[in-house]
A and B are shown apart, each in its own frame.
Chain A
Amino acid sequence: QQPVQSPQAVILREGEDAVINCSSSKALYSVHWYRQKHGEAPVFLMILLKGGEQKGHDKISASFNEKKQQSSLYLTASQLSYSGTYFCGTETRAGSYQLTFGKGTKLSVIP
């Protein structure tokens, strides 16, 4: 089942912070985060694994709450380059790479 992302869209001024949430109705094994700019291929940001391990980029952080079946992506001191659509992909079964993606959160950073 498709995870639910919130908010659907957000507008920030440079330097502001944002949180994007990804909620699942099923227990999660891993959560993957991507950013896609218009007309470009997605860029991998972060993966969070059950048990707390996370691998990703230095300037972006994320949390994975296994009990709440939810992940949040934290963007701090936003820059114009952060603009794009953010997708989360969830894996609900260990041993399979069956990812289901949310509909995306459109983030716009303005000067």
Chain B
Amino acid sequence: GAGVSQSPSNKVTEKGKDVELRCDPISGHTALYWYRQSLGQGLEFLIYFQGNSAPDKSGLPSDRFSAERTGGSVSTLTIQRTQQEDSAVYLCASSLMTRQETQYFGPGTRLLVL
């Protein structure tokens, strides 16, 4: 595709519900990254995929968070039993091969937990 796309662009949910965020990386990009940015705050790294594999999942904030990537392409970030502190913009990025290359960011999903 032309760029990284994310869906939904906005999500409002009630505390305790599960949400699923989707990321479509640039076609051919094997590396994929998830970040979180709370209002007025900096970036928080969540997880990195090389192909379908995530070498280090320790950046995920809690066991309510999980991520997977299938077919070396689409990735989903799932948050179970959402809490108000999960409210943030969730950003996805991809790069061609390794993590030491230019990362292209998607527009983000703005999540609001009421």
Contacts of B43 in A (CB 8 A): 34, 42, 87, 89, 101
- B105 is an interface residue with CB less than 8 A from chain A: yes
Contacts of B91 in A (CB 8 A): 41-42
Minimum CB distance partner of A95 in chain B: B55
How many B residues, CB 8 Å from partner?
Answer: 24
* Total number of residue pairs linking A and B with CB closer than 8 Å: 52
Minimum CB–CB distance from A96 to chain B (whole Å) comes to: 4
Contacts of B11 in A (CB 8 A): none
How many A residues, CB 8 Å from partner?
Answer: 21
Question: Which residue in B59, B93, B101 is a CB contact (below 8 Å) of A98?
Answer: B59
B105 touches A101 (CB 8 A): no
Given A44-B102, A87-B43, 5 other A-B contacts at CB below 8 A? A30-B100, A43-B105, A97-B48, A97-B56, A98-B56
A residues touching B (Cβ–Cβ < 8 Å)?
30, 34, 41-44, 47, 49, 55, 87, 89, 95-104
B residues touching A (Cβ–Cβ < 8 Å)?
33, 35, 41-45, 48, 55-56, 58-59, 91, 93, 99-108
Complex A-B: 7 CB contacts under 8 Å = A44-B93, A44-B103, A44-B105, A89-B45, A97-B55, A98-B45, A101-B43
